[in-house]
Structure 1
Amino acid sequence: MDRRSFLVLSSSTLVEIAADWARVEPRQLSQALDGQRVDQELLRWLEQRSGELRTLAAGPHPQVSGLIDAHLNTAIDLITQDRYAPAVGRRLHAVPADLAHCAAWLRFDADRHADAQRHWQAAVHAAHQAGDRDLAAIALSDLAYQATWLSRPAEAVQVLEHARSRTRSPAARSLLGVRRARACAVLQDHHGTGRALASAETELERMHPQDTPPVVSWMSMADVSADAGRCWLDLGDPGRADAAIGAGLDELNPRRSRTKAVFLTYRAEGSLHGRDAVAAATDARTALDAALGSGAARCVDLVSALIHRLEKRTEKPIVELREYARARLAG
């Protein structure tokens, strides 16, 4: 069954969420009720655990999803009890914002698209209450990225316009620029793609580690380069795409196995345009290994779909790739 059919947010609703966030200021948090309040010690513990779980989620740890959900539910319960001072409340809302954002990515990687949407939507709301505009904008940009991934680029562009309106961090703006470029490229908007990539590079040059939110601290020139390559591939320039993706892979942090799998799949697709069966098979094989190692079904599906499209190719490297893929996926 096609999971795309079960997305909980329609195109119009998704854009409305972004538009509301862009124009509505957070309401004042309600006064804490009488009784046991969330104190500074508990709050610091929640924040520390949240950061540790985000770090774990970046690796191949299948158990971390349950831990994040439990921690998220605890933070939501504390918010629902409404027993905290306003200043504590803002920090308390930041915890489920971060965790919901992280949980959304785990679900997206698992091809659970409707569930990912729910968690990104929750992250936007909680980050809004916490006054964290960059995290809210990034969560909106993730919804836009998902829309592009699921062949809905027009709504992605609209969402990203709203998301950018309140960002403060250059790293966040760079990420939004890359994602806008990806959507524009799918729409065959050459001018829009070029402008968005130029903006992404300019903002990245302004990035300083001390001013960068943890949620986007991974953003680097590797991401801009490789995603630019995907754009050029969509716009019909495989030679330029190969150079850009290659530069991105050379600079990519080796621990980012999911991203590596995606970028290698893109380069393999570009090699097929250039009729280089050996290069395509080599990259597709490495991409499959990286995807399986990451445990991300989304990445496995991406490279598997590429290999499936090669079913009728008879070149020896492609035949060997299909055999290798069947053995790996069967195991």
Structure 2
Amino acid sequence: MARVRNEALAARIAEAGWTQPKAAAAFCRVADEVGARELTVVSRSHIAMWIMGTQPSGRAPHILCETLTRKLGRLVTPTDIGLPAVQDRATDGMDWDADTLTALTELGTDDLDMLHRRQILADTAYSVASLAVPAPSWWKDAPAAAATRRVHSHRAVTPADVDDIRQTTVFFSARDQRRGGTAGRSALAAHLSMEAAPLLSSRIPSEHLRRELYSATAEMTYLAGWMAFDANEHRRAQRYFTLAAKLAAEAADGPLAGHILRAMAHQAVDLNHPGQALDLASASMAADRYGQASWREKALLGIVHARALAATGDRRETLAAISRAERDLARDTGDAPDRVSFFAHASLSHETACALRDLGNLRDAEVHFKKSVATRRRQIYARTHSVTLGYLGSVQIRRGGLDEGCGTYNEALDAMDGISSGRTRNVIVQMQQDLSPVRGRGERQVAELHQRAREMLRTIG
């Protein structure tokens, strides 16, 4: 039987404004992100064959949908691109109503099994369908439901157990800031699945201690998600974030729930899901989350809300949100929890610059990126410092400052030494893309920088 041209797929690619080579490149980026190495060789000819009626196989339809979803800013399903409906294994068992303890133990154990983790990554991709925030009634009922969880161990939980979880989280958080999210993940996953998670089903003497335990475990779970996010393992990060938010809800810890929803919004912005990002960021700004947070945490939630607004193109509301975040940080009284100790004026400037950049205001974005670089404690926050330098270099080149941008990019590469992070890798890839249009001009500094970037990518894989 003759193949029938897939007009729906052709229409979506045209709507994205892509040529077939650009569509293939975007597809390969998503395939690489989820560990589907066999699909990173997809080329223009594959796209052409799919448009001409050849059916993509395996995980290709799912990755193709996610690629177009990110570009178009709305959910794209297989039927939207002329393909048969497929089961989305990325969402199996991971909805908001799944058993928290079971899911947490399984996810942590999977993270320890490197071969299994690679298989999970190959089988799943970031799920837009999982981003819907539960109804207010779900959040209200969560603490009571957790309080009746069946006890599987008669070992009594003590305040020292909670302190141990919090101290371990602080240690790994500091390491993440210095070394990147890829370093130390297995050790954190081991502590989470083998030490922290079993306590949730142990005998807890009081409701106050139960909530403290759940809150501490939620922070550790959030950190595991953040490290996965930094490693570009986005579906795994999403699963950890969802579990962390559920634990925070079960602890009735509104500010922590807001903190985690803010991280999910940040991830959605980075993956070009602006509508979902704004929903998540708006949820983080609820009265029982933003309203109960410390001033420093209010500023963090507020500036990510600004980033989500910028992603949707709402200039007026973005600028208003930036101003509110600045006022909130100015009112900081030093009583913020450890999880926001990283967030100071350098971080606020970085996120402000990102929002302005996304609105197209490159001049002011450059100003704020420079302010962030100048004020950050770079030895403590080495990973973020290198990313900020990369973003600054990109903006400078986009504004026509080739010499300055190349100099900044070289500083970024210097700052990446010893860091293991997917986000720093993304900066290097962006660097190559920025330099590609000017490589033919013969500038020695461009050629040297491009070669240095290639060598670093080869080193980090």
Correspondent of 1:97 among 190, 194, 218? 218
Give secondary structure in 2 for the equivalent of 1:311. helix
Q: 5+ unaligned residues in a row in structure 2: which ranges? A: 1-30, 35-62, 64-123
Change in CA separation of 1:99 and 1:326 when aligned onto 2, cut-off 3 Å: same
What's the CA shift for 1:190?
0.9
Task: Summarize deviations over 1:10-68 as a string: whole Å, max 9, x none.
Answer: 24x31324866666562261288583312334443343333333333332275521221
Task: Summarize deviations over 1:120-171 as a string: whole Å, max 9, x none.
Answer: 1111111222232211111111000000000111211111111111222222
Following superposition of structure 1 onto structure 2, how do residues 94-243 of structure 1 map, counting pairs within 5 Å? 94-165=215-286, 166-167=288-289, 168=292, 169-209=294-334, 211-243=335-367
2:437 matched to 1:312? Answer: yes
Give the Cα–Cα distance (whole angstroms) in 1 for the partners of residues 313 and 160 of structure 2.
52
Change in CA separation of 1:236 and 1:58 when aligned onto 2, cut-off 3 Å: closer
Structure 1 contact 141–163 (Cα < 8 Å) conserved? yes
Give the Cα–Cα distance (whole angstroms) in 2 for the partners of residues 252 and 55 of structure 1.
15
- The equivalent of 1:53 in structure 2 is 172
Change in CA separation of 1:281 and 1:19 when aligned onto 2, cut-off 3 Å: farther
2:397 matched to 1:272? Answer: yes
* Identical aligned residues as a percent: 24
Aligned residue-pair number: 329
Structure 1 contact 127–136 (Cα < 8 Å) conserved? yes
Tell me the TM-score normalised to structure 2 length: 0.66
Please say which structure displays the higher CA radius of gyration.
2
Question: Which deviates further from its counterpart, 226-235 or 122-131?
Answer: 226-235
- The equivalent of 1:259 in structure 2 is 384
Tell me the TM-score normalised to structure 1 length: 0.90
Give the Cα–Cα distance (whole angstroms) in 2 for the partners of residues 2 and 330 of structure 1.
15
Question: Which deviates further from its counterpart, 279-288 or 37-46?
Answer: 37-46
Structure with higher helix content: 1
- The equivalent of 1:64 in structure 2 is 184
What's the CA shift for 1:229?
1.9
Structure 1 contact 93–127 (Cα < 8 Å) conserved? yes
Change in CA separation of 1:115 and 1:55 when aligned onto 2, cut-off 3 Å: same
Amino acid in the other structure paired with 1:240: D
Structure 1 contact 291–300 (Cα < 8 Å) conserved? no
Structure 1 contact 7–117 (Cα < 8 Å) conserved? no
Amino acid in the other structure paired with 2:132: V
Give the Cα–Cα distance (whole angstroms) in 2 for the partners of residues 226 and 40 of structure 1.
37
What's the CA shift for 1:237?
2.3
2:148 matched to 1:30? Answer: yes
- The equivalent of 1:3 in structure 2 is 33
Give secondary structure in 1 for the equivalent of 2:200. helix
- The CA RMSD measured in Å over matched residues stands at 2.4
Amino acid in the other structure paired with 2:365: A
Amino acid in the other structure paired with 2:347: D
Structure 2 contact 169–223 (Cα < 8 Å) conserved? no
Give the Cα–Cα distance (whole angstroms) in 2 for the partners of residues 228 and 160 of structure 1.
15
What's the CA shift for 1:216?
1.0
Give secondary structure in 2 for the equivalent of 1:35. strand
Structure 2 contact 165–220 (Cα < 8 Å) conserved? no
Q: 5+ unaligned residues in a row in structure 1: which ranges? A: none
Correspondent of 1:16 among 133, 139, 159? 133
Structure 1 contact 277–317 (Cα < 8 Å) conserved? no
Structure 2 contact 155–202 (Cα < 8 Å) conserved? no
Correspondent of 2:371 among 223, 228, 247? 247
Give the Cα–Cα distance (whole angstroms) in 1 for the partners of residues 259 and 407 of structure 2.
34
Amino acid in the other structure paired with 1:10: V
Structure 1 contact 30–86 (Cα < 8 Å) conserved? no
